[in-house]
Amino acid sequence: MNRRHFLLSASVLGLAALAPGLALSAGTLAVLLPPWVTLPKEMTDTYKGGGLDIQTLGWDEIRTKIVTSMLANTAPASVTEMDWSWVGQFGSAGWYDPLDAVLSDELKADLPTTSIFTYDGKLIGVPYNNDFRVLIYNAAHLTKAGVAVPKTPAELLDAARAVKAAKIADYPIALPLSASEGSATAWYLLTKAFGGDLFDADFKPLFTDPASAGYQAMAFEIAALNEGLIDPAATSLKDVEVQELFKAGKATFDVAGWAGNLAVYSDAAKSQVAADVAAALMPNVNGKSRTFGLPGALGIPMNAENKEQAAGFIQWMLEPATMEANYRLLGNLPTRLSVLKTLNEAGNLKQGDVLIAQAEVVEPLFAQGTPGWYPEFSGAVATALNAAAKGQLTVDQAVAQIAEAAATAQE
């Protein structure tokens, strides 16, 4: 996509004078968020910056709406979700205002993932949802099956087989296999679990060799599906739908579990497995657990209305009380280190010791930074993985198709 000019004058007028306690416009602010940030009235009642029009769409649909709107030179909302994976694409297009003036130096130091949302030296998204992945499991299922918590992918398969054989769960492994981003990110995670990475330093694919971690990760998923350890319906389920299977006690392992979801899974009002849910470090093949961060941020489109109010909303989302409520009610893990520490010290961070241990080894998916062509690559991964799950492609064909798409996207 061609770079567009930043509306720097608008950014300065709208953001530079921000300060805590600033009186905000009483107008209604349009905010576009994913389903897992459907803010309940208990939270929005504490927002004093004016009216809110919160729209929720699926992750893929949000990106489509942003791209369509910005190409038409209209803002999808005054504040939108900014995913880590969109930074390269949206930054190069110049679609979002720089937000450095929104955060104090102290707040920036409390938000280590801001670097993921910096493009060309400018912060275009403020992280509010600290998403990384851990292994979430139903401890009661494992106890009944007489198996230990798995520490390797092979042990994970063996444990799932034991659970299935004991007729505790028909499909013990919960993994999305639809043509969606959630399926792609699960494969990325498993690639790290098998001890490898997707690309080398020059963005050359590392997943086409049968001995590679990426190849083994996909083979793991297809084998588990074919063995009846993953629900066949997973080929049409997104990650949020797969999570419902775990909450209902129909699955033993949420293999690519959202760290923050432990709060939801442990809530008896929202989950049937509240008393049995537990977490462990991601399984691995070499004794070193690995995971990667998928934080969510908030951004302000360059042609948005109510920019001053929009920045105030972002500041409100970063307040400790808001972050704690966001975690307690929705399972969205805080991005501020101070808030995480406070929750854990108070005993309010579900499986806090495991989360903190896993958080210490969180790494970016791309060491070089998320490339602008990531959306095309991710779409190719989701499509090929889904086709392989449906038996339309072999693993060899699927990884070759993904590698070809990656090469084309970089041209």
Residues 199 and 98 in one domain: no
Q: Is the pLDDT of residue 325 over 90?
A: yes
| Judgement on whether residues 301 and 323 belong to the same structural domain of the protein | yes
Do 158 and 249 belong together in one domain?
Answer: yes
Domain that holds residue 37: 8-131+293-363
**pLDDT at residue 372, rounded to an integer:** 84
CA angle 272-130-322, nearest 5°?
80
Q: Are residues 71 and 119 in the same domain?
A: yes
CA distance 411 to 408: 5
User: Smallest Cα–Cα separation from 335: which of 319, 313, 353?
Assistant: 319
Structure confidence at residue 174 as a pLDDT band (50, 70, 90): very high
Locus of tokens 């330093």: 201
What's residue 263's pLDDT?
Answer: 87
Same domain for 216 and 278, yes or no, is yes
Judge if 147 and 124 occupy the same domain: no
In a domain, 41, yes or no: yes
Is position 107 within any domain?
Answer: yes
Task: Verify that 270 and 402 share a domain, yes or no.
Answer: yes
The residue behind tokens 């970016």 is 364
Report the distance separating Cα 209 and Cα 207, nearest Å.
6
pLDDT-derived band at 19 (thresholds 50, 70, 90) equals: very low
Question: Could you say which of 326, 341, 363 is where a domain stops?
Answer: 363
CA distance 20 to 308: 12
- In this model, does residue 375 exceed pLDDT 90? no
pLDDT at 167 over 80: yes
Q: Are 362 and 292 in contact (CB under 8 A)?
A: yes
Decide if 276 contacts 140 (C-beta within 8 A). Answer: yes
Please check the confidence at residue 70 and state whether its pLDDT lies above 90: yes
Domain contains 99: yes
Give residue 346's pLDDT: 94
| % residues pLDDT > 90 (the chain) | 79
Within a domain: 368: no
In terms of domains, do 100 and 237 share one?
A: no
Of 128-142, 213-227, 364-378, 386-400, the least confident:
364-378
CA pair distance 38, 69, nearest whole angstrom? 22
The reply to whether 166 falls in a domain is: yes
Same domain, 153 and 241: yes
Secondary-structure percent of the chain, ordered helix, strand, coil, rounded to 5: 45, 15, 40
Average pLDDT over residues 358-363: 86
Instruction: Locate 3 and state its tokens.
Output: 């770079």
In a domain, 3, yes or no: no
pLDDT at 4 > cutoff 60 = no
Same domain, 261 and 402: yes
Beta bridge partners of 298: 81, 126
Tell me what pLDDT residue 238 has. Answer: 92
On whether the CB atoms of residues 298 and 125 are closer than 8 A, the answer is: yes
Q: Which two tokens stand for residue 339?
A: 């808030």
For residues 265 and 247, the answer to whether their CB atoms sit within 8 Å is yes
Average pLDDT, the chain: 91
How confident is residue 8, by pLDDT bands cut at 50, 70 and 90? Answer: very low
**Does 380 score more than 80 pLDDT?**
yes
- Same structural domain for residues 12 and 60? yes
Classify residue 2: in a domain, yes or no.
Answer: no
Dist. CA 175–CA 198, nearest whole Å? 19
Say what the pLDDT of residue 16 is: 34
Q: Quick one: pLDDT band at residue 13, thresholds 50, 70, 90?
A: very low
Complete DSSP assignment for 238-305: -HHHHHHHHHTTS-SEEEEEETTHHHHHT-TTT-TTTTTEEEEPPP-SSS---EEB--EEEE-BTT-S
**pTM, to two decimals:** 0.78
Confidence (pLDDT) at 152? 98
DSSP state of 180: S
Q: Do residues 41 and 115 both lie within one domain?
A: yes
- Reply yes or no on whether the pLDDT at 6 is more than 70: no
Count of domains for the chain: 2
Average pLDDT over residues 27-54: 95
pLDDT at 382 over 80: yes
In a domain, 1, yes or no: no
pLDDT per residue as tens digits for the range 279-312? 999 999 999 999 988 899 999 999 999 999 999 9
- What span, in angstroms and rounded, lies between the C-alpha atoms of 135 and 282? 5
CATH code at 22? 3.40.190.10
**Backbone φ, ψ for residue 31 (5° rounding):** -130, 130
Q: Which residue has the tokens 């993985």?
A: 385
175 falls in which pLDDT band (50, 70, 90)? very high
Which pLDDT does position 15 carry in this prediction? 38
The model's pLDDT over 202-247, given as tens digits with 9 standing for 90+, comes to 999 999 999 999 999 999 999 999 999 999 999 999 999 999 999 9
| Amino acid in the structure at residue 315 | Q
Backbone angles phi, psi at 248, to 5 degrees: -85, 0
* Per-residue pLDDT tens digits for 90-134: 999 999 999 999 999 999 989 988 888 999 899 999 999 998 999
| Integer Cα distance of 402 and 313 in angstroms | 39
